Amino acid sequence: MRAYIIRRLLLIIPTLLILSALVFLSVRFIPGDVIDALESRMDYLAEPLDRAALERVLGLDKPVHVQYLLWLRGIFLQGTLGKSLLGKDTVEAKIWTRVGPTFQLGVMSLLIGLVIALPVGVYSAIRQDTAADYAGRTIAVLGLATPNFWLAIMVIIYPALWWNWAPPILMVRFLDDPWESLGVFLIPSIILGTAMSAGTMRFTRTMMLEVLRQDYVRTAWAKGLRERLVIVRHAIKNAMIPVVSAIGLALPLLVGGSVIIENIFNLPGMGQLMLVALSDRDYPIVSGVNLFFGCGVVLINLLIDLIYVYLDPRIRYQ
Amino acid sequence: MRFFRRLIREKPLGAASGAVVLVLIVVSIFATQLAPYDINDVNAKNRLQGPSAEHLLGTDHVGRDFFTRVLLGARLSLFVGLSATAINVLVALLVGGVSGYLGGKLDLMMQRFVDAWMAFPGLLLLLTIMSIVGRGLPQVIIVLGVSGGIVGSRVVRGAVIGVKENVYFQAAEAIGTRTGSTLLRHVIPNIAPILVIIFSINIGGVIISEASLSFLGFGLPIEIPSWGGLLSREGRRYMEQAPHLALWPGLCLTVTVYSMNTFGDAVRDLLDPRLRGGAGTNYGGFRSRRRGAGAPVGR
């Protein structure tokens, strides 16, 4: 088992390095750099900006690979992701002010998604091929097919038309007023959560079905255990192990979805930051946000694999 | 032919969805002929009207017939979906095939790249790349095609490695068959079902990704009325006065992706029962949900 964990940890290093290069280099190819963006915004200037001087100040005059190495050095030695090209803030400071809403949205969506997905998936499996199973599966496939941004717009339009009710749009931070804040995030989280639950539900159902066919479940039935015990103690316990990894797989979906949902519901999270930075060509921020999410996904998946080893003794003793 | 008979008998819902997909394809081919108006017929007197006999789905903010615009949106969604997914399969075959077939250090390195690519949440990656290459139809198709293909290559690589374990492959190697013909005769025919599965499972996700990108303003340019674009501009700006502008593009998207996914699931179940209950739309394509199980890639 130790060998497995060590190998798993070692494999992370090249992945993270490639990820950082991908994140950093990709944005350097954006046509029309930040100086063009600055210039177009300041059309009141009498003379054109001093390009060379600006490039020197922003550190854009050095070759790309040098910029990349300097960036890495900054991360490792000074713990900084660089400075925003527009404004005085550092990237990490900008990210830090935006983490809260995205994190809250993510956690609430994940919880709502699991609360829907797990019971429905389990029930669908133990009543395989009944009407309830078909209903559950159809809703799941529909959930996968419905674009969450459309669902969000529908939730904003139709209740307003029919009942004169609209979801709250004024953002409230969790630390300022937890109760109010939960209310503001509830609708966005339900939309994102249901989007995530569709895949997880199908996965849970598949895993449950697989476990229900195992010998030990048959044994449990054969020795006359009540259904509840067979399902809860023997089946669910084992089916939940792979479902843990499904959470890791849902993560990128949650991140991508949060960009859209934050945009529609006006939540000042990292998705909003990213969209603004992309149109401003503020590449340090784009790289920073990408690196943050990318590393987050890699590390959480690592954590899940390690939890997995702990949960599933079959892997531990291999 | 036998395949289709099995499809109808064993998967009626899948067959029905396949029929819907077929209708969609026909409708998109003849979209300009079927459309009652020209796409740019502006009529300021009729702006933001609700559905009526002349305008089945009403009109938009400059009085253009919305039915026409949604119809042409179908053509775009399908065109982007089909072509980008075809590129998905090609790229997956190329990357996964090379990585799996050659193995060794190259495989290890390529898989780290794929790891990094997959760690990147799909939509963020697509947004970043789209902002580099700029909006446009070819750009969207290539970006969606390549990025989903890299993700799908994992599955192809696994399949190729699986083929290499077989005795017939080893026999072919032993009698000195040239690499080209080994690939053509033994590897590709055996992973063909996987390629079909990648195609049928990815297409729904690709269509949603295009819509998401266009919705956020990073996909197709404004002149092109894609469903995602319609939702973001007319749909959002005039949603209180004219909710039909937001309702229909999304409904069409849902029906399209639903039929594609259901059809794809049916095809997959028939071709490879072992993969039952697998992946869904993941902004970026096929992801095997059978990971986990403690099998670190790159062993």
Q: Tens digits of per-residue pLDDT, A99-123?
A: 888 888 888 898 998 888 888 888 8
User: E-strand spans in chain A?
Assistant: none
The whole-angstrom separation of Cα A204 and Cα A117 is 7
Q: Which residue has the higher pLDDT, A73 or B236?
A: A73
A293 neighbourhood in chain B, CB within 8 Å? 120-121, 124
Tell me, yes or no, if A246 comes closer than 8 A to chain B by beta carbon: yes
Do A260 and B212 count as a contact with CB atoms less than 8 A apart? yes
Write out pLDDT tens, residues A203-246. 888 888 888 888 888 888 888 888 888 887 778 877 887 778 77
Write out pLDDT tens, residues A42-53. 656 666 666 677
Q: Are B218 and A278 in contact (CB under 8 A)?
A: yes
Q: What SS3 state is found at B183? A: helix
Nearest to B194 by CA among B280, B291, B268, B111: B268
Chains A, B: CB pairs < 8 Å: 203
The whole-angstrom separation of Cα B110 and Cα B160 is 15
Q: What is the pLDDT of residue B83?
A: 93
Q: What is the pLDDT of residue B283?
A: 31
Q: What SS3 state is found at A244? A: helix
Neighbours of A221 (CB within 10 A): 13
Do B239 and A144 count as a contact with CB atoms less than 8 A apart? no
Mean pLDDT of A75-92: 77
The whole-angstrom separation of Cα B117 and Cα A75 is 21
Q: What is the pLDDT of residue B89?
A: 92
A263 neighbourhood in chain B, CB within 8 Å? 216
Q: What is the pLDDT of residue B84?
A: 93
B215/chain A closest Cα distance in angstroms: 8
Contacts of A188 (CB under 8 A, 6+ apart): A105, A109, A152, A167, A261, A262, A264, A265, A267
Neighbours of B5 (CB within 10 A): 10
Torsion angle defined by CA atoms of residues A227, A232, A238 and A241, in that order, rounded to the nearest 10 degrees = 150
The whole-angstrom separation of Cα B68 and Cα B265 is 31
CA distances A275 to A85, A113, B127, B129, B131, Å, are: 15, 25, 8, 13, 10
Which of B11, B114, B124 has the highest number of chain A CBs within 10 A, making it the mutation to test binding with A?
Answer: B124
Q: What SS3 state is found at B59? A: strand
The whole-angstrom separation of Cα B144 and Cα B89 is 12
Q: Are A194 and A113 in contact (CB under 8 A)?
A: yes
Helices (H) and strands (E) in chain B, counts: 13, 0
Contacts of A7 (CB under 8 A, 6+ apart): B296
Closest partner residue to A147 (CB to CB) among B131, B212, B279 is B212
Closest partner residue to A198 (CB to CB) among B236, B243, B280 is B280
Torsion angle defined by CA atoms of residues A149, B26, B83 and A29, in that order, rounded to the nearest 10 degrees = -50
Global pTM reads 0.81
Q: Could you tell me the pLDDT band of residue A39, with boundaries at 50, 70 and 90?
A: low
Q: What is the pLDDT of residue B56?
A: 67
The whole-angstrom separation of Cα B12 and Cα B32 is 32
In B, residues 94-153, which contact A (CB 8 Å cutoff)? 109, 112-113, 115-125, 127-129, 131-132, 134
The whole-angstrom separation of Cα B105 and Cα B155 is 19
Neighbours of A90 (CB within 10 A): 19
For residue B59, report the phi and psi dihedrals to the nearest 5 degrees.
-130, 160
Q: Are A159 and A224 in contact (CB under 8 A)?
A: no
Write out pLDDT tens, residues A128-155. 778 888 888 888 888 888 888 888 888 8
Cα-based angle A153, A157, A161 (whole degrees, multiple of 5) = 170
Write out pLDDT tens, residues A4-25. 788 878 888 888 888 888 888 8
Closest partner residue to B239 (CB to CB) among A146, A149, A157 is A157
Mean pLDDT of A84-111: 84
Tokens linked to A136: 């559950």
Residue A283: DSSP 8-state: H
Q: Are A38 and A57 in contact (CB under 8 A)?
A: no
Residues facing residue A90 across a β-bridge: A83
**Can you list the residues of chain B whose pLDDT is less than 50?**
275-299
In A, residues 15-54, which contact B (CB 8 Å cutoff)? 15-16, 18-19, 22-23, 26-27, 29-31
The whole-angstrom separation of Cα A86 and Cα A82 is 12
Q: What SS3 state is found at A83? A: strand
Q: Are B97 and B151 in contact (CB under 8 A)?
A: no
Q: What is the pLDDT of residue B288?
A: 37
Burial class (CB within 10 angstroms; exposed 0-12, middle 13-18, buried 19+) of A75 = middle
Q: Are A162 and A205 in contact (CB under 8 A)?
A: no
Q: What is the pLDDT of residue B156?
A: 87
Neighbours of A56 (CB within 10 A): 12
Angle formed by the axes of helices B244-271 and B188-215, to 10°? 170
Residues facing residue A83 across a β-bridge: A90
Q: Are B253 and A147 in contact (CB under 8 A)?
A: yes
Q: What is the pLDDT of residue A223?
A: 87
The whole-angstrom separation of Cα B81 and Cα B205 is 9
